């Protein structure tokens, strides 16, 4: 500066005996009025895990120092003077809830002094403040727990579905002066946002200031402070597209696991992979949230439900695979399983085996037929030695035999009938008028021997067919019961698919309706 400025500085700081540690009031009983205003420039970071917010800006402080007055006409018409803040008195206003290592990160700059003693001190600041993180609605809207109608809450949710609102307070006040020494007030009820730069993750909703007084346990006097409240809203599209949507799609793949055939060999592998993927997403989510026990975030509850569903789906898949690969040789199917699962439950799920009657009456008839003794076929032959089995009797015999044996039996019986017919033709050739009574007796005896031979051969054939019939019957029974086990596995799969679909829909709906 010029000689006038040097002379003015000498006059203010030296000649008048200025003391920078003296509170600038003419009477010690007077209260010094200090006005502050916080200008917010940018929200650098909101560390939810450590519950801290980092902002940049500047702090405006204004007060009047009676010792720093002069007449401009006596000093070359100088009306404004810049003086280093270390050479004059400045209020010890600090951020009470600071999380910075230095606690006071304000930079020491020059103070602008007017000729009437008014001082303007605007240091740039980089504040790191403690901010309580409300994780109840993370990363969606956080609604206070009030008794409101569900319909009203639904409208709130529709309007604020992807909003996570947080409130951070900055408490400024003198560190050593009480309200008798300094009257601290905010310049306005709103913070300064003229130079604010928007954040990529957060939208600034409100920036307000309130004047307060409080009394601490350590001191008898009342201390003033100004409370700045920053209301920010998260742009949660990032979390929705990168965490919520993938988790929802992966959980939907759990339903596809119930549609996968157990014979493919990948049914259990798919369910276990889905479970591990959901666990991985949960670990990823836990890294960005604070370890708080006050509340459980809605998204954490949702992930927990999905994880439980995935774990239960693994158990259900194990049960389904176990049922699918059962057979009648190792496991006997209880009658109640046939009744309630193959019949009633399958009917409720609109499932039916092709060409298979699953009604309870058909099941009872099947069990009654299986209890019949194999000698029923032999009973059809009887002990009558007077004649060969008649045609109705043979047809009745065929009805008791399996389909794959009927052709064999028919061919055998047709062969016996042809043999009998040929023998009868031979006998007719010898029945001429010249045949005597002796010939007729011989023919009669021959006919009787042929009947006994046919009956004996037929009894042997039917006995052998009975063995084959029993074998094929048991094989069919085993095959049918094995198919029944597979059908039961399909019914359980369908039941799990429906239950899991309903549960997932309910969980997803309640998750977003109870935000």
Q: Tokens 């009745």 label which residue?
A: 396
Q: What is the pLDDT of residues 270-324, one digit of tens each?
A: 889 988 988 888 888 777 776 766 667 777 878 888 888 889 999 999 999 888 8
Q: What is the pLDDT of residues 197-216, one digit of tens each?
A: 998 888 899 999 999 999 88
Instruction: Please tell me the pTM assigned to this model.
Output: 0.62
DSSP for 393-448, written as a single string: HHHHHHHTS-HHHHHHHHHHHHHHHHHHHHHHHHHHHT--TT--HHHHHHHHHHHH
Q: How high is the pLDDT of residue 448? A: 62
What 3-state DSSP class applies to 241? helix
- Among 3.40.50.720, 3.40.50.1240, 3.30.565.10, 1.20.58.390, what is the CATH number of 239-325? 1.20.58.390
What is the residue extent of each domain of the chain?
3-235, 239-325, 351-481
Q: Tokens 């599209």 label which residue?
A: 237
- 138 within 8 A of 164, measured Cβ to Cβ: yes
Q: What are the angstrom distances between the C-alpha of 424 and each of 58, 430, 448, 451?
A: 129, 10, 12, 11
Angle, alpha carbons 189-194-198 (nearest 5°): 105
Q: What is the pLDDT along the chain (515 residues), one digit of tens a residue?
A: 588 888 999 999 888 888 999 999 988 889 999 999 999 999 998 887 788 899 999 999 999 999 999 999 989 899 999 999 999 999 999 999 988 888 777 788 999 999 999 999 999 999 999 988 776 666 665 444 433 344 444 444 444 444 568 889 999 999 989 988 999 999 999 999 999 999 888 889 999 999 999 988 888 889 999 999 999 988 777 777 887 788 788 878 888 888 888 887 788 888 899 889 888 888 887 777 767 666 677 778 788 888 888 899 999 999 998 888 887 777 777 888 878 888 888 888 888 776 665 555 555 555 555 455 444 444 544 444 444 444 444 444 444 444 444 454 444 445 445 555 554 454 444 444 444 454 455 455 555 666 777 777 777 877 777 777 777 777 777 777 778 888 888 889 899 899 998 988 888 777 666 54
Q: How high is the pLDDT of residue 209? A: 95
Helix, strand, coil proportions of the chain in percent (round to 5)?
50, 20, 35
How many angstroms from the chain centroid is the CA of residue 407?
A: 60
Q: How high is the pLDDT of residue 413? A: 47
Q: What is the pLDDT of residues 143-186, one digit of tens each?
A: 444 333 444 444 444 444 445 688 899 999 999 899 889 999 99
How would CATH label the architecture of 3-235?
Distorted Sandwich (2.70)
Q: How high is the pLDDT of residue 188? A: 92
* Long-range contacts at 423-426 (CB < 8 A, ≥ 24 apart): 423/447, 423/450
Pairing of strands 124-130, 110-114: unpaired
């Amino acid at each position: 500066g010029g000689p006038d400025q040097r002379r003015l500085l000498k006059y203010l700081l030296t000649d008048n005996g200025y003391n920078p540690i003296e509170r600038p009031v003419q009477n010690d009983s007077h209260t010094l009025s200090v006005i502050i205003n916080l200008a917010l420039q940018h929200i650098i970071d909101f560390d939810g895990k450590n519950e801290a917010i980092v902002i940049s800006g500047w702090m405006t402080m204004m007060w009047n120092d009676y010792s720093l007055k002069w007449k401009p006409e006596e000093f070359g018409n100088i009306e404004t003077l810049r003086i280093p803040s270390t050479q004059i008195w400045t209020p010890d206003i600090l951020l009470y809830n600071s999380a910075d290592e230095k606690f006071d990160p304000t930079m020491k700059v020059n103070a602008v002094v007017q000729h009437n003693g008014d001082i303007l001190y605007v240091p740039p600041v980089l504040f790191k403040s403690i901010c309580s993180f409300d994780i109840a609605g993370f990363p969606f809207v956080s609604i206070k727990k009030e008794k409101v109608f569900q319909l009203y809450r639904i409208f709130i949710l529709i309007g604020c579905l992807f909003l996570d609102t947080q409130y951070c307070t900055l408490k400024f006040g003198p560190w050593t002066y009480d309200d008798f020494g300094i009257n601290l007030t905010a310049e306005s009820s709103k913070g300064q946002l003229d130079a604010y730069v928007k954040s990529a993750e957060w939208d600034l909703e409100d920036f307000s200031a309130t004047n307060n007084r409080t009394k601490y346990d350590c001191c008898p006097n009342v201390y003033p402070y100004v409370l700045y409240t920053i209301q920010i809203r998260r742009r949660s599209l990032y979390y929705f597209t990168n965490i919520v949507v993938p988790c929802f799609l992966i959980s939907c793949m759990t339903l596809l696991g119930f549609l996968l055939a157990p014979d493919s060999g990948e049914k259990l592998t798919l369910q276990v992979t889905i479970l591990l993927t959901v666990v991985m997403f949960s670990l990823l989510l836990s890294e960005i949230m604070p370890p708080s026990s006050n509340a459980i975030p809605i998204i954490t509850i949702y992930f927990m439900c999905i994880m439980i569903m995935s774990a239960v789906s693994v158990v259900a898949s194990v049960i389904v695979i176990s049922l699918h690969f059962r057979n009648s040789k190792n496991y006997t199917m209880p009658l109640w399983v046939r009744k309630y699962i193959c019949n009633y439950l399958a009917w409720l799920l609109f499932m039916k085996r092709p060409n298979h009657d699953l009604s309870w009456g058909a099941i009872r008839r099947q069990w009654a037929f299986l209890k019949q003794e194999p000698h029923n076929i032999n009973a059809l032959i009887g002990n009558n030695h007077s004649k060969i089995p008649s045609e109705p009797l043979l047809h009745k015999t065929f009805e008791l035999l399996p389909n794959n044996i009927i052709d064999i039996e028919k061919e055998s019986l047709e062969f016996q009938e042809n043999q009998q017919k040929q023998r009868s033709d031979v006998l007719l050739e010898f029945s001429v008028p010249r045949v005597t009574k002796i010939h007729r007796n011989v023919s009669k005896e021959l006919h009787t021997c042929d009947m006994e031979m046919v009956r004996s051969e037929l009894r042997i054939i039917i006995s052998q067919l009975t063995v084959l019939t029993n074998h094929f019957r048991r094989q069919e029974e085993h095959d049918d019961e094995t198919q029944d086990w597979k059908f039961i596995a399909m019914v359980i799969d369908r039941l799990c698919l429906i239950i899991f679909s309903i549960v997932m829909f309910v969980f997803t709906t309640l998750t977003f309706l109870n935000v």
